[in-house]
Structure 1
Amino acid sequence: MSKKILVWFRNDLRLHDNEMLVEAIAKSDSILPVYILDRRSFGETKYGTLKTGNIRAQFILESVLGLRNALKQIGGNLLIAEGSPEDIIPQLVQEYEITEVYHHREVAREETHISTLVENALWKLRVNLKHFIGHTLYNKEDLPFPIKDIPDAFNQFKKKIERDSMIKPCFAAPDRINVAEVIDWGTLSSLEDLDLLPQQKDQRADFEFWGGEAEGLAHLQKVIMVMQQAATTKNLILASKLSAWLAMGSLSPRKVYWEIKKMESVPNTKAMFNHILLGLLWRDYFRFMFKKYGNTFFSPDGFGSQGLVDVANEQENFNKWRNAQTGFAVVDAVMTELNQTGFISNIARQTAALYLINNLEVSWVLGAAYFEEKLIDYNPASNWGNWANVAGVGNDQKSKSVFDLDKNIKNLDPKGNYAITWAS
């Protein structure tokens, strides 16, 4: 009997640097690439927000179709189904006589719970679910410490892994693929099918995101072109905006690292290189913190206590904040940009969070849940980890004192132009 491996794609929608895909091709006669649209990822949360808003939903749909097109170009395809993975994958295993299932391991509670449900269902069929790690710059097994001993302070984490760990080279993208015979590869739902409306482009936005590996790789090259032009501009630091493709796994963090590292010798690019690398390291840090501490990051009290919460006016204040109606110009500008585009800079995120927590005295988890809905580059570890830190309930309690709203506003909008541009 021929060996068939089902490759379950989740937040890893790419061909390049995809160990799971490379190994599946090498160890099978044919593979069955599968993406499952799980409606639970588009429902309402207990905070009254959506798990996925229209902007990120559109980006996800584009990313899935981008993967299907990429697979078609090398002789394959992507089976697209809608429903619960724990129901659909066992059905596919039986229908196509699958011998093993591959997928990338996640770290947040909902994603890992679904993996467990799938694993339990496959166990009844005596089929193995093999886990791969492909979301981080540094592999877990290459860290200079076990997960339980990872330093809580980011600077210590950064110092130790940069000194004692290595970043592995990328896996090459396959150029040919042999897939199982499938009569109906399925169609992908539209935004309307998900009860969401398309977002109208805001003319104030200076950038437009399009989902998919090809778009991500093309944008990475544009970032590198900017770095090349930096030979005549000292200390150039621009927002790379690579995070949306990294969040969907359409770009590998190692691919980003090795591509920008080629620019290391170009004059005046060091600041930009360090800026991008720092972002990749923060992504790794929060992901490993989630591995270390599990779901503590989703608790309102986290590792400490936020402090005052104005329970009586909390919902009203939260609504003013998310609707950009606080009356505080810079914060309203940040929230308008977020609502209209799905993307704001890191300092803008901190500014909005500090105002919600300290000035409006709203529980930080409401803000984190709203960012989950709105951010095009949302990933659980970075979003909830960053919010917990700003609220002073993160695992590194020494970071409480590093956030300053007035300082943030001066850096974000020193001349007041940002507030004017994004006045709602």
Structure 2
Amino acid sequence: MADDTAVVWFRRDLRIHDNAALLAACDADELLAVYAFDPREYGERAFGGRDSFRFEKTGPYRARFRREAVADLRERLRDRGSDLVVRHERPEVAVPAVAEAVDADAVHYQSLPVPEEVDVETALRGRLRDLGVTPSRRWTHTLYHPNDLPVEYTEISDTYTRFRETVENRATVREPLPDPDVPDAPTEEVDAGSIPDAGALGVDEAEDDDRAALAFVGGETAALDRLDRYVFEEDRLREYKQTRNGLSGQGFSSKLSAWLTEGCLSPRTVRREVERYERERVANDSTYWLLFELIWRDFFGFQFAKHGTDFFRRGGIRGRDDIHWRDDDEQFGRWAAGETGVPFVDAAMRELNATGYQSNRARQNAASFLANDLRIDWRRGAAYFETQLVDYDPASNYGNWAYIAGVGNDSRDRSFDVVGQAKRYDADGEYVARWIPELAALPAGAVHEPWTLSDAERAQYGVRLGVDYPEPMVDPTDR
């Protein structure tokens, strides 16, 4: 039986297409949509738990992207004769207040796996039940639905390869849901509210940099445009596996992650478009590899549903106590600022700070240097990425950092030979030269190892280590 009046609470599902929570809510006679900018997601906060530290929760690039995504969702709902109520308040306060104002029968929303998000949902459900309003949750964030997994999510393998083989052989991906017909809003007067600017959220304004790989614009409209551009318009998918380790430019990878994270784009829609591409153009290792990466995203999402807060401990889900993690503010600050004296790491961090983005290859090397070369608490690095990344996904970010640090889902040594990686993936030195202009005059053979130059060569190229560019923090030859 349909509700007379429903509220749909948008979270990290900022889209109309393939949205189970929205579709269920649209069965009601009347519908009002709500989004709440949670103040706890902005500004400085304590990491929490043992060995806590303080960090900025959300930086300027993700904050801007999210505001754009909410604005785009509001416009898309208005185009359908509806609207989006926006609040700058804790969701467990804002959403029940709106539900009470319109005498809603039910609130429909997305359920998420990360402990902070689970806590918000739990608080919301309690308040709704106190009001006599039915909470109704849907899982909308992964490629595979948890009900379609061959085993309960609590029993899934902690090894990616085993998880992937299991779901590929014993599970199916549901087809994307249709776009709904959105009912009229309730007749009760509810202030639509305004989208808070950066100052109201307590974050700096994002500054554009013309060296950025891509200008990330938030919202479902931009998400669908990017998917079509990468897959069909530019026909990049056929070479994805070969180009995905690129470092500069917009076309070497799909760069769908920011839209997937905020839910502007459904992973099932991505899969559908990949399959259409395979039917219409070509099916090869590259077309499969994009789906392979989506399964990685699922893997970490379900891992967080399984292990919860264990992922945020120094010893990770493996409870390791045999690694001596250090807390060194000076060294951490040099890493974060891109002043380690190791060009590949510094280029990666300078790109992150200037644009909110790094390629996957750059992320792995920057993370490995902090966790494995400096042995600084890996969670500080993960939290810094949480602040800066436009495409920060809680499960993927902390899951990958734990993986690199040796406390997560892989028992192997994940330490990277950063200089070797630089020579392999930035052989011409173009990436380092782009982000470290003080090294741009160096020949490709020296740009990744300026410490190998003679005094005469340094003078020739105008590079004084310790003056123009830092001496390396560690002995690069000590591998």
Q: 1:6 & 1:218 partners in 2: Cα distance?
A: 29
Report which structure shows greater RCO (CA 8 Å, sep ≥6). Answer: 1
Shift of the 269–228 alpha-carbon distance from structure 1 to 2, 3 Å rule, reads farther
- C-alpha displacement at 1:418, in angstroms? 1.0
- C-alpha displacement at 1:12, in angstroms? 0.4
Q: 2:307 & 2:242 partners in 1: Cα distance?
A: 37
Letter aligned with residue 263 of structure 1? Y
Shift of the 299–13 alpha-carbon distance from structure 1 to 2, 3 Å rule, reads same
Counterpart in the other structure of 2:26: 25
Counterpart in the other structure of 1:372: 386
Counterpart in the other structure of 1:188: 195
Counting aligned pairs with the same residue, the percent is 36
- C-alpha displacement at 1:29, in angstroms? 0.8
Counterpart in the other structure of 1:309: 325
Shift of the 270–370 alpha-carbon distance from structure 1 to 2, 3 Å rule, reads same
Matches within 5 A, 1:314-329: 314-329=328-343
Letter aligned with residue 110 of structure 2? H
Counterpart in the other structure of 1:15: 16
Q: 1:13 & 1:3 partners in 2: Cα distance?
A: 24
- C-alpha displacement at 1:148, in angstroms? 2.0
Shift of the 418–99 alpha-carbon distance from structure 1 to 2, 3 Å rule, reads same
Aligned residue for 2:109, secondary structure, equals strand
Counterpart in the other structure of 1:110: 116
Shift of the 108–268 alpha-carbon distance from structure 1 to 2, 3 Å rule, reads same
Shift of the 276–306 alpha-carbon distance from structure 1 to 2, 3 Å rule, reads farther
Q: Contact 2:110–2:137 at 8 Å: present in 1 too?
A: yes
Find 2:427's aligned residue among 403, 414, 424.
414
Shift of the 196–148 alpha-carbon distance from structure 1 to 2, 3 Å rule, reads closer
Aligned residue for 2:309, secondary structure, equals helix
Find 1:154's aligned residue among 138, 160, 181.
160
Aligned residue for 1:262, secondary structure, equals helix
Q: Does residue 407 of structure 2 align to residue 393 of structure 1?
A: yes
Structure 1 residues 109-157: Cα deviation after superposition (integer angstroms, max 9, x where no partner): 1111111111111222222211110000000010111112211110111
Letter aligned with residue 311 of structure 2? F
Q: Contact 2:239–2:286 at 8 Å: present in 1 too?
A: no
Q: Does residue 211 of structure 2 align to residue 211 of structure 1?
A: no
Letter aligned with residue 378 of structure 1? Y
Q: Contact 2:231–2:237 at 8 Å: present in 1 too?
A: no
Find 1:86's aligned residue among 92, 99, 109.
92
Q: Does residue 206 of structure 2 align to residue 199 of structure 1?
A: yes
Structure 1 residues 276-328: Cα deviation after superposition (integer angstroms, max 9, x where no partner): 212211110000001111110000111124723334xx111110011111111
Letter aligned with residue 324 of structure 1? G
Letter aligned with residue 395 of structure 2? A
Counterpart in the other structure of 1:65: 71
Paired residues, number: 420
Further displaced range: 226-235 or 65-74: 226-235
Shift of the 232–373 alpha-carbon distance from structure 1 to 2, 3 Å rule, reads closer
Further displaced range: 150-159 or 270-279: 270-279
Aligned residue for 1:129, secondary structure, equals strand
In structure 1, stretches of 5+ residues that fail to align are none
Matches within 5 A, 1:7-406: 7-26=8-27, 28-46=28-46, 47-181=53-187, 182-225=189-232, 228=235, 237=244, 238-265=252-279, 270-302=284-316, 303=318, 304-305=320-321, 307-311=323-327, 314-394=328-408, 396-401=409-414, 403-406=416-419
Q: Contact 1:389–1:400 at 8 Å: present in 2 too?
A: no
Letter aligned with residue 48 of structure 1? R
Shift of the 255–212 alpha-carbon distance from structure 1 to 2, 3 Å rule, reads same
Aligned residue for 1:32, secondary structure, equals strand
- C-alpha displacement at 1:82, in angstroms? 1.5
Q: Contact 1:230–1:236 at 8 Å: present in 2 too?
A: no
Q: 2:322 & 2:181 partners in 1: Cα distance?
A: 51
Q: 1:359 & 1:166 partners in 2: Cα distance?
A: 41
- C-alpha displacement at 1:177, in angstroms? 3.0
Further displaced range: 358-367 or 83-92: 83-92
Q: Contact 2:37–2:89 at 8 Å: present in 1 too?
A: yes
Letter aligned with residue 325 of structure 2? V
- C-alpha displacement at 1:417, in angstroms? 1.7
Aligned residue for 2:296, secondary structure, equals helix
Shift of the 213–207 alpha-carbon distance from structure 1 to 2, 3 Å rule, reads same
TM-score normalised per structure 2: 0.83
Q: 2:181 & 2:128 partners in 1: Cα distance?
A: 30
Instruction: Return the index of the structure with the highest Cα Rg.
Output: 2
Letter aligned with residue 402 of structure 2? A
Q: Contact 2:243–2:253 at 8 Å: present in 1 too?
A: no
- C-alpha displacement at 1:179, in angstroms? 1.8
- C-alpha displacement at 1:231, in angstroms? 6.7
Q: Contact 1:389–1:399 at 8 Å: present in 2 too?
A: no
Letter aligned with residue 45 of structure 2? T
Further displaced range: 104-113 or 89-98: 89-98
Letter aligned with residue 390 of structure 1? I
TM-score normalised per structure 1: 0.94
In structure 2, stretches of 5+ residues that fail to align are 47-52, 245-251, 438-479
